[in-house]
Amino acid sequence: MHLLPRWRLSGYYFFYFAFIGAFSPYFGLYLQSLKFSAWDIGLLMSQMQLMRLFGPNLWGWLVDRFGRRVAIIRLAGVVGLAGFMAFFWLDRLPGMLVAMAVLAFFWSAALPLVETLTFDHLREERGRYSSIRLWGSVGFIVAVMGTGALLDFVAPVGVLWVCTFILLGILGVALVLPEAAQSHSLASEQPIAQVLRQPKVQALMSACFAMSAAHGAFYVFYSIHLDASGYTKTEVGLLWSLGVLAEIVVFMLMPRIARRFSLRDILLLCFAAAVLRFLLMGWGVESAAVMIFVQLLHGLTFGAYHASAIAAVNQWFPGKSQGRGQALYSSLSFGAGGLLGALISGWTWDDWGAGWTFSLGAVFALAGFLLIYRWVGQDAVPQGGSVPGAVDVRKPEKTSDPVQ
Residue 178 is given by DSSP the state P
**pLDDT-derived band at 262, boundaries 50, 70, 90:** confident
Q: Per-residue pLDDT for 222 more than 90?
A: yes
What class, spelled out in words, does domain 190-384 have in CATH? mainly alpha
Q: Per-residue pLDDT for 170 more than 60?
A: yes
Q: If you average pLDDT over every residue of the chain, what do you get?
A: 84
Indicate the residue type of 232.
T
Rg (CA), the chain: 20
Select from 1.20.1250.20, 3.90.76.10, 3.40.50.150, 3.40.30.10 the CATH code of 1-179.
Answer: 1.20.1250.20
Do 190-384 and 1-179 fall under one CATH topology?
Answer: yes
Q: In 339-385, which ranges are E strands?
A: none
Residue bearing the bigger pLDDT, 294 or 350: 294
28 vs 156: CA distance, rounded Å: 10
Residue 126 pLDDT: 59
To 5 degrees, how large is the angle CA 127–CA 264–CA 281? 95
286 vs 359: CA distance, rounded Å: 16
pLDDT tens-digit series, residues 61-107: 777 677 788 898 999 999 999 999 999 999 899 999 999 999 988 88
240 vs 218: CA distance, rounded Å: 11
Q: Per-residue pLDDT for 288 more than 50?
A: yes
**pLDDT-derived band at 266, boundaries 50, 70, 90:** very high
Give the list of residues 6+ apart from residue 126 with CB closer than 8 angstroms, or none: 119, 386, 387, 388, 389, 390
In the predicted model, what is the mean pLDDT of residues 128-145? 85
Residue 186 pLDDT: 45
Residue 147 pLDDT: 94
Containing 102, the helix (H) or strand (E) segment is: helix 93-122
Q: Per-residue pLDDT for 311 more than 70?
A: yes
Residue 331 pLDDT: 81
Q: Per-residue pLDDT for 383 more than 60?
A: no
Residue 399 pLDDT: 32
Q: Per-residue pLDDT for 379 more than 90?
A: no
What share of the chain in percent tops pLDDT 90?
53
34 vs 29: CA distance, rounded Å: 9
Residue bearing the bigger pLDDT, 181 or 200: 200
Residue 402 pLDDT: 28
Question: Domain coordinates of the chain in residue numbers?
Answer: 1-179, 190-384
What share of the chain in percent tops pLDDT 70?
88
Q: Per-residue pLDDT for 26 more than 90?
A: yes
Residue 269 pLDDT: 96
Q: Per-residue pLDDT for 404 more than 70?
A: no
Residue 6 pLDDT: 79
187 vs 104: CA distance, rounded Å: 36
Give the list of residues 6+ apart from residue 263 with CB closer than 8 angstroms, or none: 308, 311, 312, 376, 380, 381, 393, 395
In the predicted model, what is the mean pLDDT of residues 227-240? 94
In the predicted model, what is the mean pLDDT of residues 291-303? 96
In the predicted model, what is the mean pLDDT of residues 353-369? 97
